[in-house]
Amino acid sequence: MLTYIKIYEEEKANKDTKILPTGKKDSGAERAKMLSKPRYLCMTVKANGKVRLHKVKKTSATSFHIGRTWHLDEIKSIENVDGRRWTVVINRPYAWVADTSELKNDFLMMLLKVLRSNLKKLPALINIDEPAITTQFNVTREANTPMSSRISRAAPISNNNSSGSLSTPTGSFVQDFENRLSIQTERMKRSAAPLTPSLGSTIAPAGGAGPMGERNGAKFMDETDPLDEVALMNLEELLYDMDLASSEDGVALETRLMKELNSLEMANIYSIIESDDRIKDVMAELDKGIEELDDMDSWLSLYRQELDSMGDDIRQIESQNRGLQVQTSNQASLLRELENLLFSITIPDRVIETLKKESLEWESGIRKIEEAAAEIQGVLLAKYDEDVAGMSAVRGRMELYNFHCESFAGRLADFLKNKLQTQTDQLLGDKQRTLSKGYVVMFGYEPIESYFIAYRGLILWLKEMDPTRRFTELQMHLVNNLNRLVRKELKEFFNILYTHHVAKLEKPDDSEFVFGSTHHGGLISRGGTAIRESLSSPSDLTGRIPWRKRSTRDIHEMTTRDRNSTLYESSRRIDVGPEEKLAVDDAFAQALTIVTAVAARGQNYMSDLFTLTKMMSLKMFLNDTPPFSLQELDTKRKPAMDVKSSKRLTQLMGILFDGLSVELNNLADNGFKNESVQCVGMLISVERVQKQFADSDQAFLITMLTQLHTKLVGMFEKYVEEQLKFIEEARNKTKRKGVLPFMRIFPRFAEKMEALLDGDNDIEARKMITSAYDKLVRVMFESTEAVAKETVDSDDKEQGSHVVNIENMHHFYSEIRQRKIPNLENYMKYAKSSYESHLETYVRGVVRKTLLKLLDFFDGVEGLVKAKASEDVAFHLTYNKQALKKVVASYPAATIRKDLAHLYKKVEKHFSSEEEEGLLQVAWRGIQEEFIRQHERFSRLINECYPDAGVQMEFSMNELLGFFSDIAKSHH
């Protein structure tokens, strides 16, 4: 803080203000000016040199709070009003009053100095006499300075600067500084204890602020010592008086003061020395002592050099001694290491002899060779330092062992290749593996699996020692030889299966499940009605092809017959008799299950034989040989972590089973061409096998099945589009009577789809079939409506349209309800609603045609009853009693009997379809109920509107019921 002053701020009167004590007569304006509570105006400087004004409020006896803060450049003008008042314009005018004029002038003097030193342009100064304020400031300062301090000063302070700055004092800098410090100290002692600012936005006084302290003008303040406050308050004034730049930093100022102090001390010492004569004698003795010390130092230097020389010699001897000891120890260690190295890289001759001559045919010999191969592998693959590996002895041994290792690798690879070639040729020439009618088998290659698995330890050694050449050549030799066997078996398997055991239609796509088929009588008319021969079971498809349908869930429960099944335990056989035929989808499902099982087993075998999916060395293999059994080859395995090995395994499978995808696609194409609906069963079979191999390591099979699935999905979509086209074409080709062909076919089609799904609702085929249902049923319903609108009846075109809708919707509803297909529930409800609506309309239409006059008359009567009172109807010109008698007399009982008999014949003609025989009784029952309802309505209106007419219907209710009973008896 630079300085502060206690002020009162003028404002309008309120309950918290007091009247300004001016001593003059109060005018209206003067009475309006009141003083607020006291505040403190403080001027502070920050560490970066920025000066700010603060208006501080005393919040308690020991603390203060900063209310407002302004920067110097925010001051617009300063106006001196009178002795105690002045006005400062910042963001608005502020009128302040000090306790005394001296305090106000001291604060203004300090404020002007700070403004000049910090601003390029001063604010407007109004009614301010700067010389007078400066003079008063100096007089006040001199009055507060003790007499001893004023006398001790070398020269007085003049006021010859118009700007109010103090002149530079005469005398030394240090003396003037001490004088000014003493002046300020005496001044502070006479003043009351100053206010001490606290950190933050609150200022706490160091002691009580009495009246004298408040009138003592601008003061410097600190938290601890009043002397420091005095020094800080007048530091800028002292610097200016002593011709020191106030802009200099603290380091430069300190340096300058220290120079002055050093000069003063040197002058004082020199003055003391010059004033005493004994100093010369002392100096002479000192010089003599220094010379003697120099002599002693030279002797000591020579002695030290001799000692250093002797020490160097001793250290050299000791170093040589240690070197000899280290050399001796190192040579001993090297000798031991060389002996250990030679021992570690030395392989006994028996090991080399075992690799050269031991037989690979027997299990005992294989075990000995594995141990010998592991031993030589441990030496060759051991890691040595670069220096050790470069030793001639080590290089010679390694070259020798590499030669033996290379020789054994060639011997092993040639042996395995020859054995593989021989066994493959034997299996290819085995006549027991020939397929025939009723014997469709995938034998596999179990004998080769059993034989070569004994060599997996040596194959693992070959993989580690020569992975790029001999190991790769062995892999390719194995898959190429087995491919000859697998390709031959696949070709025979699918050829025998499709040629002898797959049911084929005499005419392609002429099955009961194809909407455009002509075989089942879809467009053959009988008695003017489009009908077909009912096929109650798939065995009725043709008279010459006995075939049966199995569930694809029972495919794995097959047994071999008439052959040596123990010889080929891994064989897979189609469960079919010599003359037995299978549906395409059934044959495809069984074949797919068998060949994928064989392929999965082949991948597992190659993985185990070549150790492709496990990180293992020959040493680990010998210490803990992994168990192996042929049954484990049929188990599902999780995906391997080694991506590179998995990719290599997939490549080998692609070579081994390169003909599998072709054969499956050919079977699917041939089956689709013969009977397109079979693509659904094939698609479901593929999805079930995909589900079986999901989350397994069978990448080859998964890819192949995905491609096959995509192909079958395309076939199914094509099949559905063809059926939609057939339904559209049926509008123009079908006679407009009876159950339409596509309405007969769809229930059987839906039943077959549900049978193929066999409850698997979580496969993709379920969604595809449901979507096909939606498309087919919508087009069927639209086509039925179109056919109904175009139907022409000999008697009544409108009734013919209703008959078509009734027959077809009733057929759809009853057939789907009988089969209980949940996915068609909504369409079944729609068909029922449509059937009931058209039946009701049909019944009302035929009844109206029979009782036309009665219905027209009583409909008019009923309309009048709704508009007028019932007793007024008899007086209406059109519906009077005479009109009633006339219309009732026109329908005697005999006429009603005759009309009903004629009506029955007409209804019988409408509902003569063999598929919907029960509709005649349903329709006739509805007509009977409508007649009864109308008779009751007629009688009720007569009694209500013509109570005194004495008219009744010519035929009673009992007579009407008798007529219907007679008709029913005559036709049963």
User: Are 964 and 928 within 8 A, CB to CB?
Assistant: yes
Residue 520 has pLDDT above 70, yes or no: no
Task: Encode burial over 790-811: b for 16+ CB neighbours within 10 A, e otherwise.
Answer: ebebeebeebbbbbbbbbbbbb
Q: What pairing do the DSSP bridges indicate for beta strands 572-573 and 33-35?
A: unpaired
Q: What is the pLDDT of residues 217-238, one digit of tens each?
A: 333 344 444 444 444 445 555 5
Helix (H, G, I), strand (E, B) or coil at 644: helix
Rounded Cα gap, residues 519 and 540, in angstroms: 12
Can you list the positions of beta strands (E) in 529-688?
529-531, 547-548, 572-573, 581-582
- Phi, psi values for residue 98, rounded to 5°: -100, 165
d(CA 306, CA 166): 72
- Residue bearing the bigger pLDDT, 332 or 150: 332
Closest C-alpha to 462, from 546, 405, 397, 421:
405
* Strand-pair partners of 68: 55
Residue 324 has pLDDT above 70, yes or no: yes
3-state secondary structure of 45: strand
pLDDT grade, residue 393 (50/70/90)? confident
Rounded to whole angstroms, the Cα distance separating 481 from 715 reads 35
d(CA 222, CA 207): 12
Of the spans 150-159, 249-258, 804-813, which averages the highest pLDDT? Answer: 804-813
Using a 10 angstrom Cβ sphere, with 0-12 exposed, 13-18 middle and 19 or more buried, the burial of residue 15 is exposed
* pLDDT value of residue 142: 64
Q: What secondary structure does DSSP assign to 318-360, as a single string?
A: HHHHHHHHHHHHHHHHHHHHHHHHHHHT---HHHHHHHHHS-S
Q: What is the Cα–Cα distance from 322 to 98, expressed in whole angstroms? A: 93
Average pLDDT value for residue range 943-967: 88
Contact 457, 622 (CB under 8 A): yes
The answer for 738, left when phi > 0, alpha when psi is -120 to 50, beta otherwise, is left
Residue pair 745/512 in contact (Cβ under 8 Å)? The answer is yes
**pLDDT tier at 778, thresholds 50, 70, 90:** very high
Summarize the confidence of residues 752-761 as an average pLDDT.
86
Strand, helix or coil at 4? Answer: strand
Specify the pLDDT at position 517.
Answer: 57
pLDDT digits (tens, 9 = 90+) for 530-539: 223 333 333 3
Q: In this predicted model, which residue has the larger pLDDT, 621 or 716?
A: 716
Residue 500 pLDDT > 70: yes
pLDDT at 917: 62
3-state DSSP call for residue 559? coil
Q: What is the pLDDT of residue 152?
A: 37
Q: What pLDDT is attached to residue 197? A: 39
Look-up of token digits 């400062």:
88
Identify the H or E element spanning 738: none
Q: How does pLDDT run across 192-225, given as a tens digit for each residue? A: 334 333 333 333 333 333 333 333 333 334 444 4
Show the tokens assigned to 379: 């030496």
Amino acid letter, 958: N
Higher pLDDT, 625 or 365: 365
CA separation for the pair 420, 424 (Å, rounded): 6
pLDDT at 310 over 80: yes
Q: What is the pTM of this model?
A: 0.58
pLDDT of residue 140: 67
Helix, strand, coil shares of the chain as percentages rounded to 5? 65, 10, 30
What are the φ/ψ torsions at residue 955 (nearest 5 degrees)?
-125, 130
Would you say 479 and 649 are in contact if contact means Cβ atoms under 8 Å apart?
no
pLDDT (average), residues 837-857 = 90
pLDDT at 104: 87
From the list 382, 350, 383, the residue with the least C-alpha distance to 368 is: 350
| Residue 774 phi, psi dihedral angles, 5° rounding | -60, -45
What is the rounded average pLDDT of the residues 748-764?
Answer: 87
CB of 673 closer than 8 Å to CB of 511: no
Cα–Cα nearest to 635, from 608, 653, 617 = 608
Q: At what angle do helices 584-610 and 470-501 cross, to 10 degrees?
A: 170
Closest to 656 (Cα-Cα) out of 449, 435, 441, 463: 449
- Distance separating alpha carbons of residues 635 and 277, to the nearest angstrom: 121
Alpha helices, DSSP H only, in 25-96? 28-32
The four Cα atoms 679, 682, 684, 689 give a dihedral, to 10 degrees, of -150
Average pLDDT for 558-576: 51
Least-confidence region, from 475-484, 550-559, 592-601 = 550-559
Strand duo 3-12 + 93-98: pairing: antiparallel
Mode of pairing for the β-strands spanning 77-80 and 124-126 = parallel
Q: Please name the amino acid found at residue 445.
A: Y
> Does 728 score more than 90 pLDDT?
no
Residues 692 and 295: their CA atoms lie apart, in Å, by 108
Got the DSSP string for 900-952?
Answer: HHHHHHHHHHHT--STTTHHHHHHHHHHHHHHHHHHHHHHHHHHHH-TTS---
Render pLDDT for 651-705 as a digit per residue (tens, 0 to 9).
Answer: 999 999 999 999 999 999 998 988 888 899 999 999 999 999 998 999 999 999 9
Q: Do 618 and 373 contact (CB within 8 A), yes or no? A: yes
Query: What percent of the chain lies above the pLDDT cut of 70?
Result: 76
Q: ∠ CA 638-643-647 to the nearest 5 degrees?
A: 95
Q: What is the DSSP letter of 217?
A: -
Average per-residue pLDDT for the chain:
78
pLDDT tens for residues 83-140? 889 899 998 899 999 989 888 888 888 888 888 888 888 898 898 888 878 777 777 6
Rounded Cα–Cα distance for residues 674 and 874 (Å): 76
DSSP per-residue string spanning 480-518: HHHHHHHHHHHHHHHHHHHHHHB---SSTT-STT-TT-S
Distances 107 to 76, 433, 542, 812, 821 between C-alpha atoms, Å: 18, 124, 127, 111, 105
pLDDT value for 913: 66
The kind and range of the H/E element at 302 are helix 278-344
Distance in angstroms (rounded) separating the CA atoms of residues 336 and 914: 109
What is the Cα–Cα distance from 437 to 577, expressed in whole angstroms? 8
Mean of the pLDDT values across residues 293-321?
A: 90
Q: What is the DSSP string of 529-540?
A: EEE-----SGGG
Please give the helix or strand (H or E) that residue 666 lies within, else none.
helix 660-674
Region for 820 from its dihedrals, namely left if φ exceeds 0, alpha if ψ lies in -120 to 50, beta otherwise: left
Q: At what angle do helices 852-867 and 881-889 cross, to 10 degrees?
A: 150
Contact 170, 213 (CB under 8 A): no
CB-facing half-sphere around the CA of 942: CA atoms within 13 A: 20
**Cβ(920)–Cβ(911) under 8 Å?**
yes
